[in-house]
Amino acid sequence: ETGVTQTPRHLVMGMTNKKSLKCEQHLGHNAMYWYKQSAKKPLELMFVYNFKEQTENNSVPSRFSPECPNSSHLFLHLHTLQPEDSALYLCASSLQAPSDTSTDTQYFGPGTRLTVL
Amino acid sequence: AQKVTQAQTEISVVEKEDVTLDCVYETRDTTYYLFWYKQPPSGELVFLIRRNSFDEQNEISGRYSWNFQKSTSSFNFTITASQVVDSAVYFCALTGGGNKLTFGTGTQLKVEL
């Protein structure tokens, strides 16, 4: 496997279900990100992890729970979601989470298309 | 606050035509970074280019070229001799540093035979 992989690619769940999204990067990066892409809206940054530590939570509802056991893996645990949470969830990684005056290019996975019924 | 505007929601061209995708940005940062990503129907955002604000040189990569003009706060993307495989949504993004990218709403490019 190369680059950033995500599983599953498609997920349909009811509002009472619990599911998890998985992301794995094979780039030797230290920072990982979750984004939400809804129809007709710009990509929204959800969470950032740098060296396994969460460095940003962009006011995401608690029904989304991220987990980063190591620099290569990132999970997004989902529970009691709402239909408006249906979206494409994209994972990305970069060499590291940069400082305020520099940046590292983010590389994205193919996303998980989530539908909440 | 930062903002990226991609005014062209959808563009349709015939194969072999040249096409330019517009990107206009707003930022108060003196140092910033601009990006273009391609999102084909498969969903993955594919990194195309990164440009630093202090480097205004235009860049060409094969059929792709980018025109960065600080005077007009624009970072436009041109595809020469477009091909069907170029059909995708293209996103322009901006950051003043750090990990928070501000994305535009994207331009859907359709290249037809």
Query: How many angstroms away from the CA of A75 is the closest CA of chain B?
Result: 18
pLDDT value of position A41:
83
Q: What is the pLDDT of residue B56?
A: 83
Reported as a pLDDT band with limits 50, 70 and 90, residue A1 is low
Task: Give the confidence band of A98 by pLDDT, cuts at 50, 70, 90.
Answer: low
Quote the CA–CA distance of A28 and A32 in Å, as a whole number. Answer: 11
pLDDT in tens, B54-74: 888 888 889 999 999 999 999
Q: Which of A106-110, B34-38, B53-57, B84-88 has the lowest mean pLDDT?
A: B53-57
The A-side interface with B (CB below 8 A) comprises: 9, 31, 33, 40-43, 45, 48, 55-56, 88, 90, 92, 94, 97-111, 113
If we measure between CA atoms, which residue out of B58, B7, B48, B53 comes closest to residue B34?
B53
Which of A103, A105, A109 comes nearest B98 by C-beta?
Answer: A103
Q: Which residue of A has its CA nearest to B50?
A: A105
Contact B43 A88 (CB under 8 A): yes
Exposure class string for A80-113: b at 16+ Cβ within 10 A, else e: ebeeebbbbbbbbbbeebbeeeebbbbbbbbbbb
**Predicted pLDDT of residue B98:** 78
Out of A11-25, A93-107, B53-67, B93-107, pick the least confident.
Answer: A93-107
